[in-house]
């Protein structure tokens, strides 16, 4: 014979709907009822969930704000590649040192450890000397992982060549 007869099920439904905790319901039912048995029976009866779990709150967020969630999940590499693949992102405009101003990106172009003849020339981001792309490439915040750092090998060569040709 099952512990859950009709009278106990009705009491469970009543207590559950009133918001009493599973532990308190088990104590009120007595006779060997446990918190886990109350929770299990409430699930089998498909009683309304009272607490918001991490899974259900994530589902609500993804349904309502799909584009917002996608941008939040992009790491540094994802943002970097998205900028390179964006057709509206301006190409480099190689600029000589003497022609640099506050309205040009000052990221040096050329080989490492060699004096730069040209600089990026795109419009810099607010309060930065570099454009969005070179900020991502040059600056790493303290809380970012090393494995998310962007290396030159990560940049597909065809993208760079395409951007240079379109300049």
> 125 in helix, strand or coil?
coil
The per-residue pLDDT for 146 is 55
**Domain regions of the chain by residue span:** 6-44, 70-165
Q: Which of 38, 36, 17, 42 is nearest to 28 (CA)?
A: 38
The per-residue pLDDT for 166 is 60
Q: Which residues of 40-64 are buried (b: 16+ CB within 10 A; e: fewer)?
A: ebbeeeeeeeeeeeeeeeeeeeeee
The per-residue pLDDT for 87 is 79
Helix H segments across the chain? 6-18, 22-29, 35-44, 54-64, 66-73, 76-85, 132-138, 157-165
Q: Is the pTM of this model over 0.75?
A: no
Sheet holding 118-119, edge to edge: 95-96, 118-119, 108-109
The per-residue pLDDT for 36 is 92
The per-residue pLDDT for 144 is 62
The per-residue pLDDT for 162 is 58
CA angle 157, 158, 163 (to 5 degrees): 100
Side-chain-side CA neighbours of residue 106 (13 Å): 10
**How confident is the prediction along the chain (167 residues), in pLDDT tens digits per residue?**
567 888 888 988 998 888 888 899 888 888 878 999 888 888 888 888 776 555 555 555 545 544 444 445 567 777 777 777 777 878 888 888 888 888 888 888 888 888 888 888 888 888 888 888 888 777 776 666 555 555 555 555 655 565 556 65
The per-residue pLDDT for 139 is 74
């Amino acid at each position: 014979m099952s512990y859950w007869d009709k009278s106990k099920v009705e009491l469970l439904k009543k207590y559950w709907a009133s918001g009493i905790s599973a532990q308190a319901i088990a104590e009120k039912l007595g006779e060997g009822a446990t918190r886990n048995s109350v929770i299990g029976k409430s699930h089998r009866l498909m009683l309304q969930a009272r607490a918001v779990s991490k899974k259900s709150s994530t589902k609500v967020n993804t349904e309502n704000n799909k584009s917002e969630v996608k941008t939040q999940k992009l790491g540094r590499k994802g943002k970097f590649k998205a900028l390179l693949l964006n057709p509206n992102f301006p190409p480099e405009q190689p600029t000589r040192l003497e022609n640099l101003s506050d309205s040009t990106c000052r990221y040096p172009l050329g080989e490492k450890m060699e004096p730069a003849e040209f600089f990026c020339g795109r419009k810099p981001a607010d309060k930065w000397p570099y454009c969005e792309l070179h900020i991502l490439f040059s600056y790493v915040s303290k809380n970012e992982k090393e494995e998310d750092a962007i290396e030159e090998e990560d940049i597909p060569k065809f993208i760079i060549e395409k951007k240079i040709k379109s300049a």
